[in-house]
């Protein structure tokens, strides 16, 4: 039996065979727009089974975000508080512009994890949602001579997706490895204060992940500790101005950026170096996630994992040089010996 074109496309959509899965994410916009046009004819049926731009799939509030962050992210009171307030205020009233957040700090301090937990709080399909777009500098923007090409691709991708739905999350990782100027293509999207040709730009969220200012954050945190200050007493105002400057002058995608010059980044959020106690929390969290019955060996496993990590300064060994990044693989190796018992 022959099927009309519209019915055939609907069946493909309902079975998850979409053009998105067949092409590179940076070149799929035109095809997705065509498919979307047909799917609109069958939206009531389609949206029962496949992700759509409606309240079934989008969460315009994130009531569980703080709990999720406090349960899974350790030692980052500044980041947790600022992220929760920024996300909640963005959705409480009609935003005047898109939300742009810069996560800055050492590797392994939780930047990627926080970005993922934000995605999980905002979308029914969590981080796998089609409204979440994760770009890696080393994968997508590795060649400086192709800067103009990258800018065009980012612009087309954002424009196309915002045309389909305004509630999009764009995450750019390793921005310190991006060619200078690539991120300037975000400026008009972050800066729009009114819809343009029917496209709403202000509901989108942009998160930039990088290590600009890492040394400053280490020095600031260590000096605060040495002077007898409590980590929890550090405030965003203590670091944000310097992180703004570090982003602008350090090598990478934000160097000399119009995003910074025009003050379009909503917050430069510090991810502080992690102390031994925070790493221990990461270890225990990872062990619990494996559902292994190793409680009687918990201290032994924890000490073995800690022994595999490097801490600094050399004479005090306070902060993990890789945060919690290597914890997960180390736990998996160590715990196998006990799981077999």
Tokens representing 268 are 């430069």
User: Rounded distance, CA 325 to CA 213, Å?
Assistant: 19
The CB density around residue 266, as the number of other CB atoms within 10 Å, is 20
**How high is the pLDDT of residue 61?**
83
pLDDT number for residue 33: 52
pLDDT value of position 41:
61
> Which H helix or E strand runs over 135?
strand 132-136
Contact 106, 214 (CB under 8 A): yes
Per-residue model confidence (pLDDT) at position 18? 44
Terminal Cα distance for the chain, rounded: 60
DSSP state of 177: G
Pairing label, strands 169-173, 311-312:
unpaired
Q: If 0-12 CB within 10 Å is exposed, 13-18 middle and 19+ buried, where does residue 250 land?
A: middle
Smallest CA-to-CA distance from 13 within 31, 27, 26, 30 is with 31
Instruction: Identify which of 33, 82, 41, 91 has the alpha carbon closest to the alpha carbon of residue 63.
Output: 91
What lies within 8 Å, CB to CB, of 162 at 6+ separation is 168, 189, 199, 200, 201, 204
Contacts of 94 (CB under 8 A, 6+ apart): 202
Q: List residues bridging with 301 in a β-sheet.
A: none
| Residues counted in the chain | 341
Secondary structure element (H or E) that encloses residue 247, with its range? helix 240-249
Can you give the pLDDT at residue 31? 52
Check residue 21 and give its pLDDT: 41
The structure tokens listed for 57 are 């799939």
Is the Cβ–Cβ distance between 177 and 142 less than 8 Å?
yes
Structure tokens at 267: 């917050």
Q: From the DSSP assignment, how many helices (H) and strands (E) are in the chain? A: 15, 7
User: Tokens at residue 153, please?
Assistant: 């691709």
Contact 177, 150 (CB under 8 A): no
* DSSP per-residue letters across 259-307: HHHTT--SEEEEEPPPBHHHHHHHHHHHHHHTT---GGGHHHHHHHHHH
CA–CA separation, 235 vs 78, rounded Å? 7
Return the pLDDT at 294.
77
d(CA 171, CA 197): 25
pLDDT of residue 194: 85
pLDDT in tens, the chain (341 residues): 444 444 444 545 554 444 444 445 555 555 555 555 555 566 777 888 899 999 999 998 888 999 999 999 999 999 999 999 999 999 887 899 999 999 999 999 999 999 999 999 999 999 999 999 999 999 999 999 999 999 999 999 999 999 999 999 999 999 999 999 999 999 999 998 788 888 999 999 999 999 999 999 999 999 999 999 999 999 999 999 999 999 999 999 999 999 999 999 999 999 999 999 999 999 999 988 877 777 788 999 999 999 999 999 999 999 999 999 999 999 989 987 776 55
Cα distances (angstroms) measured from residue 170 to each of 155, 203, 259: 12, 12, 15
3-state secondary structure of 28: coil
Q: Is the dihedral of CA 299, 331, 135, 38 positive or negative?
A: negative
What local confidence, expressed as pLDDT, does residue 338 receive?
75
244 membership: H or E segment, kind and range: helix 240-249
Instruction: Say if residues 333 and 322 touch (Cβ distance below 8 Å).
Output: no
- The pLDDT value given to residue 195: 87
The reported pLDDT for the residue numbered 19 is 40
């Amino acid at each position: 039996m022959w099927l009309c074109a519209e019915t055939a496309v609907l069946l493909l959509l309902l079975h998850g065979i979409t053009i998105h899965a067949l092409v590179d994410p940076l070149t799929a916009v035109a095809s997705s727009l065509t498919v979307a046009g047909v799917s609109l004819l069958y939206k009531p049926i389609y949206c029962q089974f496949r992700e759509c731009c409606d309240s079934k799939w989008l969460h315009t509030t994130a009531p569980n975000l703080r709990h999720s962050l406090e349960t899974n992210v350790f030692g980052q009171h500044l980041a947790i508080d600022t992220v929760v307030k920024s996300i909640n205020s963005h959705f409480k009233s009609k935003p005047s512009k898109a939300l742009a957040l810069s996560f800055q700090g050492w590797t392994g301090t939780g930047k990627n994890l926080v970005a993922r937990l934000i995605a999980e709080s905002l979308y029914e399909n969590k981080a796998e949602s089609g409204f979440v777009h994760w770009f890696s500098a080393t994968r997508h923007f590795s060649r400086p001579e192709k800067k103009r090409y990258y800018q065009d691709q980012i612009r087309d991708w954002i424009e196309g997706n915002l045309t389909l739905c305004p509630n999009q999350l764009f995450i750019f990782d390793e921005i310190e490895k991006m060619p200078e100027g690539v991120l300037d293509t975000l400026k008009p999207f972050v800066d729009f204060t009114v819809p343009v040709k029917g496209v709403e730009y202000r509901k989108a969220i942009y998160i930039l992940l990088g290590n600009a200012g890492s040394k400053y954050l280490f020095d600031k945190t260590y000096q605060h500790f040495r002077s007898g200050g409590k980590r929890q007493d550090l405030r965003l105002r203590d670091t944000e101005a310097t992180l703004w400057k570090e982003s602008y002058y350090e090598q990478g995608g934000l160097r000399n950026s119009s995003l910074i010059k025009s003050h379009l980044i909503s917050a430069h959020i510090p991810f502080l170096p992690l102390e031994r106690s925070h790493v221990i929390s990461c270890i225990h969290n990872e062990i619990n996630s494996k559902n292994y019955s190793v409680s009687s060996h918990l201290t032994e496993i924890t000490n073995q994992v800690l022994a595999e990590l490097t801490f600094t300064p050399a004479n005090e060994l306070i902060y993990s040089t890789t945060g919690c990044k290597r914890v997960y693989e180390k736990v998996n190796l160590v715990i196998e010996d006990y799981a077999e018992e």
